[in-house]
Amino acid sequence: MRRDDRACGRFWNLPRPPVAAADLIDTAVEAGIPADRCLRGTWLTRSDLAAADRLITAEQELRIVRNVLAATEHPTALAGSAGARYQLPRAGFLGFALLSSNTLGDAIRVGIRFWRLTSVFERVTLEVNRQTTAIVLDDRDVPADVRQFLVERDAATMVGVTPALLGGPLPDGVRMSLRRRPNGDAAVEELVDVSYGADRNAITFPTALLDRPLAAANPAVAAQCIAQCDELLARHQDEPTVASRVRRRLARDPGAVPLMRTLATEMGFTERTLRRRLAREGTGYRSLIDEVRGARAADLLSGGATVKQVAQQLGYSEPAAFHHAFVRWHALPPARFRRADVR
């Protein structure tokens, strides 16, 4: 069972830059999937994803991933390809902080320190041993239906940016191990040697590489960029979005959702203002209701509740209505979701 599958409580449920989502859509379009299909239900356009100062929600990125998964028979190929096209300069101050770090080890530690400014969905930790070091991607809190795709994409991103950091090819000794074997060919295998069936997802490499100097090392630039990252991080933490406030209110009782005008009054807004503020943040009231209910349903099912019990707790009069809603939220039926969650 996952430790916490409620969207409002997940550690990754934070505003995020749109770069990784844009890369995924570009990859999907090259594979023949229309961009508007990828963006369906997100309230976003491709120009939104190209805006340098724009943030999107985690739920919007998950919706894009689910739309792509529903439209392709080759998800593993798209996951690795999308991750590999990520370029550090497009990550803003964080990207330049990484590029200007003194060593590879410094860059990795900066990336982990500022993970809230990235698009990763896994808990990322660094384990340093005498001979071998591992970057561990713990995906147990990632929704089950997108877990494999996201860990492949995010791991491919980490491996893919390494040559740019070092100014040369990927060093010998870098390996990737994944918990699950994907269905079909994995594009990530074109980047690095991959093994499957491991007890955790990890990128491993000789510990000596931590001291490898970076090609664009510049301590002064790194310090300036890290200071900017600190400011961005503080801004994200100190300014909760209207959407996050709505999520918290809805999460109190997803089975008794208030009318939008009622909630707007509670928050000190008119209904029109609340709608406009949510739209500005790239979401809407109905989308947030679906997000909160979908996450609570996943949590209850993971905990062993029956479909009928979950339907009742979420306010559905008939299990069939809940079944249809769950398929809309997670792109698979409740019973299949449970099976995927325990793998």
- C-alpha distances (whole Å) from 115 to each of 3, 108, 208, 329, 336 are 20, 10, 24, 26, 31
- What element of type H or E holds 193? strand 193-196
Residue 342 is predicted with a pLDDT of 43
Rounded Cα–Cα distance for residues 169 and 93 (Å): 24
Could you read off the pLDDT of 149-180 as tens digits, one per residue? 999 999 999 999 999 999 999 999 999 999 98
Rounded Cα–Cα distance for residues 11 and 266 (Å): 26
What are the structure tokens assigned to 268, written together?
A: 């000190």
Provide the whole-model pTM.
0.70
* Residue range(s) occupied by CATH 3.90.1520 in the chain: 15-233
* Residue range(s) occupied by CATH 1.10.10.60 in the chain: 242-341
The CA radius of gyration of the chain, in Å to the nearest whole number, is 21
Residue 239 is predicted with a pLDDT of 56
Could you read off the pLDDT of 200-233 as tens digits, one per residue? 999 999 999 999 999 999 999 999 999 999 888 8
Positive or negative, the CA dihedral 250, 117, 39, 64 is negative
Statement: residue 116 has pLDDT above 70: yes
CATH fold for domain 242-341:
Arc Repressor Mutant, subunit A (1.10.10)
Q: Check: CATH 3.90.1520 for 15-233?
A: yes
Only one residue has tokens 């890290």, namely 226
Rounded Cα–Cα distance for residues 104 and 220 (Å): 17
Residue 241 is predicted with a pLDDT of 77
- Distant-in-sequence contacts of 220-225, Cβ < 8 A, 24+ apart: 221/96, 221/100, 222/97, 222/100, 222/101, 222/102, 222/106, 222/110, 225/93, 225/94, 225/96, 225/97, 225/100
What mean pLDDT value characterizes the chain?
87
CB 69 within 8 A of CB 56: no
- How close are the terminal C-alpha atoms of the chain, in Å? 10
- What element of type H or E holds 128? strand 123-128
